[in-house]
Amino acid sequence: MKTSAKIFKALADETRLRIVALLAEGELCVCDLMAVLSLPQSTVSRHLSYLKNSGWVKDRRQGQWMHYRLAESAIPLHRALSTVLIGELPRLEPVQADKAALINHLANKKNRACR
Amino acid sequence: MKTSAKIFKALADETRLRIVALLAEGELCVCDLMAVLSLPQSTVSRHLSYLKNSGWVKDRRQGQWMHYRLAESAIPLHRALSTVLIGELPRLEPVQADKAALINHLANKKNRACR
DNA sequence: TGACTATATCCGCCTATGCGGATACTTTGG
DNA sequence: CCAAAGTATCCGCATAGGCGGATATAGTCA
């Protein structure tokens, strides 16, 4: 029960929902998220910690970059929510805008580093 | 987006999840919930307000009793989450215990008032 | 090693919200 | 109209957690 509330708590924040929606597109590093969300690094990093701590994302270090991706969970509620999020979040206008910004960002960045 | 976060916030609390699970069984009044959850009236009432305010429940006055039931929403995310909750919450042990307590409470109460 | 980049964490500040006892309001029945 | 029941709200208190600048850490490359 506590576990379930924790799963929902992680989604009870606008920024974290945006992050989850972006990660649904694939693995991203912190600097990409900063750029797309236009948020300070400490803010993005804090939310990612929260998501990691609650089991929503996994990280993977590659050189100086920390890559984050959605985690697959063994908890049925968690899995069911993932499915819902993947199906419903893309309907939201802000999510669509973020995705467009992501595509644009990745295009500009090409094979260059983050900045 | 803000709306979505609000929907999740309402579920980001153990007590509210228990209430939602109980209301999935059908309409209940505050005093029934107090008895089943073993929580003070002000606490139960506060959580019901929160759930009402976030669109999760509707109330209906019948004499001195205020009856609460799950609300049907027009918001796709909300509807999808309802389905998930109804499917997943019953798997949780604390929810099963609450349901048993509810059945017991209703049986003891019969046609008498709440106390 | 030293400089630079990417990230995590610390910090002080501020708001949201949980708790439950106390109080106020609403409805009913006599 | 009063008393009692059911409920909502107020209150003071405590903690969680949001924010973003500042600082610490980790990895890379010359």
Which pLDDT tens digit goes with each residue over B29-80?
Answer: 999 999 999 999 999 999 999 999 999 999 999 999 999 999 999 999 999 9
Q: How confident is the model at residue A81 (pLDDT cuts 50, 70, 90)?
A: very high
What is the percentage of chain A residues whose pLDDT exceeds 90? 90
Q: Cβ contacts of residue B11 below 8 Å, gap of 6+?
A: A5, A8, A12, B17, B20, B56, B81, B85
- Show residues of chain B in contact with A13, CB under 8 Å: 5
Domain boundaries, given as residue ranges, for chain A: 2-108
User: Nearest to residue B78, comparing CAs of B28, B3, B26?
Assistant: B3
Q: What is the ipTM of this complex?
A: 0.93
Residue A48 has a pLDDT of 98
User: Is the domain covering A2-108 a CATH 1.10.10.10 domain?
Assistant: yes
Q: How confident is the model at residue B2 (pLDDT cuts 50, 70, 90)?
A: confident
In this structure, how many other beta carbons lie within 10 angstroms of the beta carbon of residue A74?
7
One-letter amino acid for residue A86 of the chain? I
Confirm whether any atom of chain D, the nucleic acid strand, is less than 7 Å from CB of B59: yes
Q: State the Cα–Cα distance between residues B40 and B58, nearest whole angstrom.
A: 21
Q: Which of B13, B80, B95 sits opposite A5 (nearest CB)?
A: B13
At residue B92, the 3 state secondary structure works out as coil
A:16-75 Cβ neighbours of strand D under 7 Å? 16, 39-43, 46-47, 50, 61, 63-64
CATH entry, B2-106, from 1.10.579.10, 1.10.10.10, 3.30.70.1380, 3.30.750.24? 1.10.10.10
Exposure string for B67-103, b = 16+ CB within 10 A, e = fewer: bbebbeeeeebbebbbebbeebbeebeebeebbeebe
